[in-house]
Structure 1
Amino acid sequence: MAPPRRLGTKRFMALVALVVVVGPVLAIGSCALVVGTGLTESTRDRFVEPVLVDLDDDTIATEADFSADVESLLEWLPTLGARADAGPYLNPRLAWQGVRVAEWRDGLPPNVADRLTLPEALLARPLGTPWTTTQLSAEEREPLDFGWMEAVHAFDHWELSSDGPPSLRVPTNDRALPDLQHVTRWSLYRLLEGQRVGDLPAALRDVHQLARLLLSTEDELCALVAANLYEYAAQAAETWAPGTAIRPSIEDARRLRRAARAGPGFLLPSAPGVVFGDAVRVAQGTPLLCLGATKSSALAVQVYDILEDTPDLGPGLRRLREVSAGLDTMGCRGVLARAFWDEVDRDWVETWRNMNPDLDDNELFVAASLVPTARPALAYFVYVISLEKTFVFYEEPERNHAPEP
């Protein structure tokens, strides 16, 4: 696997300078009248076009590696179901993070809310190095009732919006999500308990099922935690049952993590059309297309207004919206992706600032909000940054390892 070239530093910095310098200048009324046209054709040809050419080449090369990952994952990746939703069972019982979670939790039946929230002592308990050397005391094991992990075998998918917090559908960093640290610790303790009582296969099945449900949420963060659980389960099998063939293996889990992180980049409006088409074709019918379209839609919606009229990005934006609208014909539910696109009528500056409250006084975004001619430069900057992040997971393999719990 040959790593793609990084964008030329001089070219990339030229694009940064274009946004940081030209944008704020355009925001000053008198200067805006002088500059007038904003991102002129000559400026675009000099600063933007070389970056986009490099970006296209690198994206095409990396997408080939992504396709190879997906082809390997298809050997074991679970198919998506839509018959039995775990959401009404899991969502009220789990701890959640995000805006408006507290008021939602206050309305839940007291015998249900936070039933799966671990005591702080177990959530923060230091584990051994490696974690498979951990031994829980009888007192620590006492509050751990793993019956719920057996119960979730009755479900074939997990819809986060089913009986979940109302802020779940807001495409910002503050939208509600389950506190996945609790899910991870429950899984590790289940594996440790399986080893202790001599029934590791049952523990592996439970953790694999929970990972499968996390993958089915169509959420990138949940998919990354699913990859972690698959890797921890494979580590447990290698440690406690050496020689046992297990799928997914550690390498399988790392391929999944890499594909889940990189995949959304190939669906962004800045991705070349051939890359977008290949990524959809290869990933169709798998959780990777569902979560990729959801993640890329969340980003696109937040800057929709500055992209739709940008010649290089507008067509890709419309292409992504069309695919997102048809996810239910491609093996996905697409609930979150479609909900994100419902946001496009909101003022983009309000949406962006809701996502990044620390940028309220940032002149760059103020410029784009006040002067339409500054928006194309900002559009290019946002999406070059986004695609650059796609490449790193193929350049630096250690980033694809599960964190030490």
Structure 2
Amino acid sequence: MFKLFDFSLRINGFPIKKAQAEFEKIIAISDDKFENYVMEKRNEIVNFHLQHNLFYKNLVGKSEIEIWNDLPVLTKKDLQQPLEDRLSNGYSTKTVFVNKTSGSSGDPFIFAKDKACHALTWASIIYRFGWYGIDINSSYQARFYGIPLDFIGHKKERLKDFLSNRYRFSIFDLSDDVLEKVLRKFQKSNFDYINGYTSSIVLFAKFLQSKNIVLKTICPTLKVCLVTSEMLFEEDKTLMEKQFGIPIVNEYGASELDLIAFENTKGEWQVNSETLFVEILDENNQPVPNGKEGKIVITSLYNKAHPFIRYEIGDIGILDEKSTFRKPILKKLIGRTNDVAILPSGKKSPGLTFYYVTKSIIEDDGNVKEFIIKQTKIDTFYVEYVSEFDLTSTQIRKIEEAIELYLEPNLNFTFTRKTFLERSKRGKLKQFQSML
């Protein structure tokens, strides 16, 4: 069978076959040798960046370091500077995979992966999806994600959907009328799995509950539902399992890294130990024992283009006491929740919709450091942001146009520049808050 998705990766310069062969070698490492593998890879990537990445060398302050815990913890603020200043020698923005973080923590930045590393990310995803009988090349995906609404961006995303064998349901409007159309699409399509933002899929499950419909009865080809990007609460998972009639799998990832944890067939949130090294640290950046909560800090073992070494992702979590180097288990993830905005027209838009709106103010010069959006009335929103300079009238007009395009007209937005933003008791900055 012709593998269209693999082919699309190869023509874009991502060596997927080589990456899959490399990933198979990692999987084949015996349990008793896996700790040595992790230690060797993390030392290799640190030494590489200390030798070839001036940004990282300046951050560390030394050209070599012997004790792992002496390495600095890399924060998102450290990365809010032009990408060219952060790339390793021999790499340019034209030879790497470049993307923007979602900004779900309120701290957006542009990042890069070398192409071999990005291909390895896909090898990791393909492997884990296979646990549930999903083949990315042949399985048909029902995708609940955002999509650019400008003509060129929209067409590019639809082309990517075609190459990836998926149909995308836009999450910007999840009113009952729209969900009725979603339901009809499921009736007519042989979807193999659902993938997308948790809050959007929960809204669809609640819609099905109101109609007393189990999705698998009208779309019998469905095998599994994979949710990502937001917290999955147990009661929502139970609701989805009932209304979809299929297993609900919890995924935890970050675009700048990889899949971080993926629920295995035993219901455990298995951490990706093949391409990442995950630590739980206290407020003094010291490791805590398994079973204790702390900051999730992650090292990308293969990204040579851009350092993600002891990178603080902005979440709090707990590793299970039974975790091993081969099989770390994420016992609990604290955070990553998003509210749903209810608009005057009755439209419901998940908080992640605001990622697509605020993308227009995320610039590579790193001016906007942090932002939060608060809904105080059904038609009134406040955007508070921290930046070196005020947003210009042109930038604000661009944001307002995006708001009208992605949400609806006649919403009132006020922009306020601040010196700092209020955080939760855990230090988490929530991008969208509904005060309704």
Instruction: Give the TM-score normalised by the residue count of structure 1.
Output: 0.29
Higher helix fraction (1 or 2): 1
Instruction: Give the TM-score normalised by the residue count of structure 2.
Output: 0.28
Q: Which has the higher contact order (CA 8 A, sep 6+)?
A: 1
